[in-house]
Amino acid sequence: MTKSALRALPVMLLLGAALCRADDIPNNTVRVGEYFVFYHASADDLSGPYVPPGVNVDVKDVQTPYFAYLRRLSTHFTAELAFGIPPLTKTYGRGPATLGSVPYNGQEVSTARWFAPTALVEYVFLDDSSPWRPYVGVGLNYTYFFDRASTPAGNAASGGPTQISLPASWGPAATAGMTYKLPHNWSVMASYSVTRVDSRLTANTDGVIRTTHISFGPQALVVAAGYSF
């Protein structure tokens, strides 16, 4: 073996060891946990026939199981697809105490379920050997509403059986979080996310149409465990 080859041997060995370590880093992670969703809803006053001024709605916070798949793109970048089991979200009347003689303010007037997958690209701080790794991410959310229904209280306030419409929403999403590595490719994490979800609620009571634009303003705390492979 020549002297130049001997000089190059330590560099080659170090490079080979680095490549082996890189190959040992898992590129896929699945997570299971819990979403705690806090709505910061705002809506225009309900408009339409026989609607007095100040009739509005509010949305109750929910929680639901969280699932995610993450793909490691490089040391500092990760792609994530996150979603939850569609929770039942309840809408409450806000404004006048009554509509005519029917109680309204604080009454549960409608319900809906939503499926809201979110795709994110995240920048992960520190390096792969660090047990603690904070991250930030941005992405796109799609929210599809289904099982929309007016409650008995909502039907009474509207003047009869009412059909509810809520078109799907596309909006930006952002997140910040922290992961902590455990032995055997396990990890735990927590994050806080903000998403824009807007839709136009339409209530149809035997051809009488009332509408309002709702900005749900969901913010979500996630606590989860992950496994990498």
Residue 116 lies in a domain: yes
DSSP secondary structure of 162-222: -EEE---EEEEEEEEEEEEE-STTEEEEEEEEEE--EEEEEEEETTEEEEEEEE--EEEEE
Cβ neighbors of 49 (< 8 A, separation 6 or more) are 208, 209, 210
From the CB of residue 98, how many other CB atoms can be counted at a distance below 10 Å? 13
Tokens of 218: 């969901």
Residue 18 lies in a domain: no
Give residue 23's pLDDT. Answer: 53
Mean pLDDT by 10 residues, the chain (229 residues): 48 46 80 97 94 94 98 97 97 92 94 97 96 98 97 95 97 98 97 97 96 97 98
Q: Strand, coil or helix: what is 110?
A: strand
| Residue 29: closest CA among 82, 84, 65 | 82
Residue 9 lies in a domain: no
CATH of the domain at 170: 2.40.160.20
Tokens of 214: 């709702």
Residue 10 lies in a domain: no
Give residue 12's pLDDT. Answer: 46
Residue 20 lies in a domain: no
Q: Strand, coil or helix: what is 62?
A: strand
Residue 14 lies in a domain: no
Angle (CA) 213-218-220 rounded to 5° is 170
* Residue 88, strand partner residues: 113
Show the domain range for 34. 26-228
Residue 135 lies in a domain: yes
Give residue 24's pLDDT. Answer: 76
Residue 204 lies in a domain: yes
Q: Kindly report the pTM of this predicted structure.
A: 0.85
Domains of the chain: total: 1
Are the beta carbons of 165 and 148 closer than 8 angstroms? Answer: yes
Q: Tokens 């639901």 label which residue?
A: 64
